[in-house]
Chain A
């Protein structure tokens, strides 16, 4: 079959893809059916580099904390830089304060949509970024399990939910480890230029031929890319001249203060609204590996995080009830600061869960304390809540059933109670 430019133009981009390509991924990129049960939507927000949970949400008046750290590495209770007080903390006598640059997150907490799990993380004793990240992405708790586990936990949750196929996106250049093993994961940092190949219909047609078969890595990757590109690109809004119309967030969403963190969030928001059947997305935010000059760097990262999360939430109001955002990081940081005004790799960090069905405005899980005998290896905040407990609870709530296969060999102690009845929304 010889393809001509006219042939491509008359059949359209997605049409020509569907007609020509025997691509397994394409069928699975099903559009949402009217009347079907709403799909769960889980967004994993990964703080890369090890976020200092003790600086994000400080036990601000704990004397052990004050002893261990210079004031610029703590959230303060008074003065111009005082942090946001968070009610319903995990220890009745400690004033837990959110970083002053996280005003948006404070509002989400106070309005009951954001829950905090402090002293959460990996129980393994690694202080390696890369080992810890691999464990958290793969959903395991020790190095031996890591060797046996090739797939990401988010990928396994999709499979055990019965939604085989392309239902997930990483808003990045390559698929995140949480989705490892999922065939045809979308990885797109932004949709600003559309997703059609450069060079117009001729190039597309030739690529379809060139990639129609072959089992090399390149051939498979190209085939998957063409399938996903066709479906997404065909749904991007265009003006009558065929030019892409830039994504316009909801009026309530102010992404600009999130700076470069806005881009992946907007990409995910746009894909959610395109109704392509998305059930899971991963978004990364970096800047947390603060070995030196932490005060300025950390503040900048917190501003992006808080502003981004708030804008994303406000952008997706119609989806709140089926949507959950969970924030994870590979580890927290050392209780005692170093002489570079920074903190080295530590143990427990902080997780947060945001969603319309989240019973927010409070902390979950125990607080182990910062007394010397309570510290992990004598130096770090200990892990009181396994990160898999939080993730299990989220997945089981969203899928409405037990999901034993996602975190194999993890003895789930039951829900923390993150979800439950909330007052009905105001009319």
Chain B
């Protein structure tokens, strides 16, 4: 040991803020571990996780089951399936899309619940990962990108079937990676090709759906949509130098043409003699592509380019556009720092984003500059926890052995977070306004009581074991759980919680081993988490 005690590199208050904001909250010991590791080192480890889940989380995912129940098919309708009611592992998470795709065709062999199953398993896995992963920042970014590249798997069965692949092969591997590469993975995913209907876009009268949202929501952003100012491409400032400051409808129309032929192997007929195989994988169909010359963002596209070259050129143009850097950095700062992101911070992030635009860790570099900024450090408590973070944060604080159920998944939706189920392509907003409605607040509180008291069969809670085995007074228990959830125990909150039982607050809450004792302690933990302190992060 050195003679002079080393000053801790990281303030415990900052550590608690980091764990709440760049993850889902602290488990016992997490703050101390981060302090001793140092924030920079912690952040480096979080930004470079090994591929796949950490071993403990992988074990949980492998052991997790989710009930599936449906009635036997109706023979009168030629439905062949037997009734099912079983606790089934999350088997679709690892399955390639071509193994799941036949569920769509064999409609007389499978109940609709089997086609929704990949969606529910993906939600279940996302709750397990948020609650237990050693790499919570990755899980947070995975959620951010799922919102950014939103798909609605509750609406279309093809999107539900494609969701495990979308999560596993598209979102997760790219969440800290290079944005241009990410964009092409999204553009060629069956989930997005179905959700924004590019898979049915054909030369002649292209479907503009994906192309429009590619510009407005995935890349340049609405601030760069200049259609109310300019009618023709050459009028856009910078266009004649090949660097237009924004885009207009003509760019959307042309980009839609460039992306025709990008589709899904879903069994559709190509012509009288050929049809696509039904695998759910990406396909490029030359005869559906509009091959003539185009102009996107003031850049000429020659006629009849090689396969996919037109679409890839569009992705280059939008991915590397300065407006995209600003739009994405603003969104990241809004999610990670504040609803109204400080403009100085966004400027710094934009510089890093642009400088690293060809780097394989472009997004990680950008997050690092945001997360180490003074603006981030000063933003403690300014965001509202999203419902998923409320669940995961409570599980981390309490150590409940939680396995998600449909009941919990439904409550998360009632509280405002219907995962993979937001119909408009904006996805769930990064700001907090959407989570503070009358009913949403009520549902947030309900989630905490429900987890503590096992309303939905997600797992029993043994609070006294967590608290070291001795039975505390109500007052001590309230203080313990306020600290464990919100990081501090306000005396008035302690008094309000401890004094709400029909018994004195300064004697042990009950005899050891008595179920009522555990119930009271669980109620105290839930009430502590219902306080404003834990609702914020």
Pair from one complex: yes
Known: A4-B502, A291-B208. A210 touches B438 (CB 8 A): no
Cross-chain pair count, CB within 8 angstroms: 184
Residue of chain A at shortest CB distance from B496 = A209
B204 interfacial by beta-carbon distance below 8 Å: yes
- Bound Cα distance from A229 to B535, whole angstroms: 19
One of B222, B414, B527 near A131 (C-beta < 8 A) = B222
Q: Among B98-106, B171-179, B224-232, B358-366, which stretch is in contact with chain A? A: B224-232
B501 CB to closest chain A CB, in angstroms?
A: 7
Residue of chain B at shortest CB distance from A224 = B438
A-side interface size class:
35 or more
**Do residues A2 and B536 form an inter-chain contact, with CB atoms below 8 A?**
no
**Do residues B202 and A216 form an inter-chain contact, with CB atoms below 8 A?**
no
- Bound Cα distance from A3 to B501, whole angstroms: 8
Residue of chain A at shortest CB distance from B253 = A344
Q: Among B47-55, B85-93, B132-140, B429-437, which stretch is in contact with chain A? A: B429-437
Q: Among B17-25, B123-131, B443-451, which stretch is in contact with chain A? A: B443-451
Residues from chain B with Cβ under 8 Å of A131 in the complex: 222, 225
Residues from chain B with Cβ under 8 Å of A172 in the complex: 437
- Bound Cα distance from A173 to B434, whole angstroms: 7
**Do residues B492 and A209 form an inter-chain contact, with CB atoms below 8 A?**
yes
Residues from chain A with Cβ under 8 Å of B214 in the complex: none
**Do residues B502 and A344 form an inter-chain contact, with CB atoms below 8 A?**
no
**Do residues A174 and B433 form an inter-chain contact, with CB atoms below 8 A?**
yes
A228 interfacial by beta-carbon distance below 8 Å: yes
Known: A189-B439, A222-B441. A205 touches B227 (CB 8 A): no
**Do residues A339 and B209 form an inter-chain contact, with CB atoms below 8 A?**
no
- Bound Cα distance from A219 to B523, whole angstroms: 20
**Do residues B212 and A128 form an inter-chain contact, with CB atoms below 8 A?**
yes
- Bound Cα distance from A292 to B423, whole angstroms: 15
- Bound Cα distance from A77 to B446, whole angstroms: 53
Residues from chain A with Cβ under 8 Å of B206 in the complex: 338-339
- Bound Cα distance from A323 to B424, whole angstroms: 30
B-side interface size class:
35 or more
**Do residues A225 and B442 form an inter-chain contact, with CB atoms below 8 A?**
yes
**Do residues A338 and B535 form an inter-chain contact, with CB atoms below 8 A?**
no
Residues from chain A with Cβ under 8 Å of B249 in the complex: 127, 377
**Do residues A291 and B209 form an inter-chain contact, with CB atoms below 8 A?**
yes
Residues from chain A with Cβ under 8 Å of B200 in the complex: 292, 339-340
A274 interfacial by beta-carbon distance below 8 Å: no
Known: A130-B216, A174-B440, A291-B209. A377 touches B231 (CB 8 A): yes
B384 interfacial by beta-carbon distance below 8 Å: yes
A94 interfacial by beta-carbon distance below 8 Å: no
Interface residues of A (CB under 8 A from B): 2-6, 48-49, 124-131, 142-143, 170, 172-175, 185-189, 195, 197-199, 202-203, 205-207, 209-211, 214, 216-219, 221-222, 224-225, 228-229, 286, 289, 291-292, 336-340, 342, 344-345, 377
17 further contact pairs, Cβ within 8 A, besides A126-B227, A203-B530, A206-B527: A48-B423, A128-B222, A130-B222, A143-B228, A173-B434, A174-B440, A186-B437, A188-B439, A195-B442, A199-B526, A205-B496, A216-B532, A228-B438, A291-B207, A337-B205, A342-B207, A344-B212
30 example contacts (A-B, Cβ-Cβ < 8 A) are as follows A3-B496, A6-B502, A49-B423, A125-B227, A125-B228, A126-B225, A128-B225, A129-B424, A130-B222, A173-B440, A174-B416, A186-B438, A197-B446, A199-B523, A202-B500, A203-B527, A205-B496, A209-B496, A210-B532, A217-B384, A218-B384, A221-B384, A224-B438, A225-B442, A289-B209, A291-B207, A291-B209, A338-B201, A338-B206, A338-B208
Interface residues of B (CB under 8 A from A): 196-197, 200-209, 212, 216-217, 222, 225, 227-228, 231, 249, 252, 381-382, 384, 414, 416, 423-424, 426, 432-442, 445-446, 449-450, 492-493, 495-497, 499-502, 523, 526-527, 530-532, 535-536
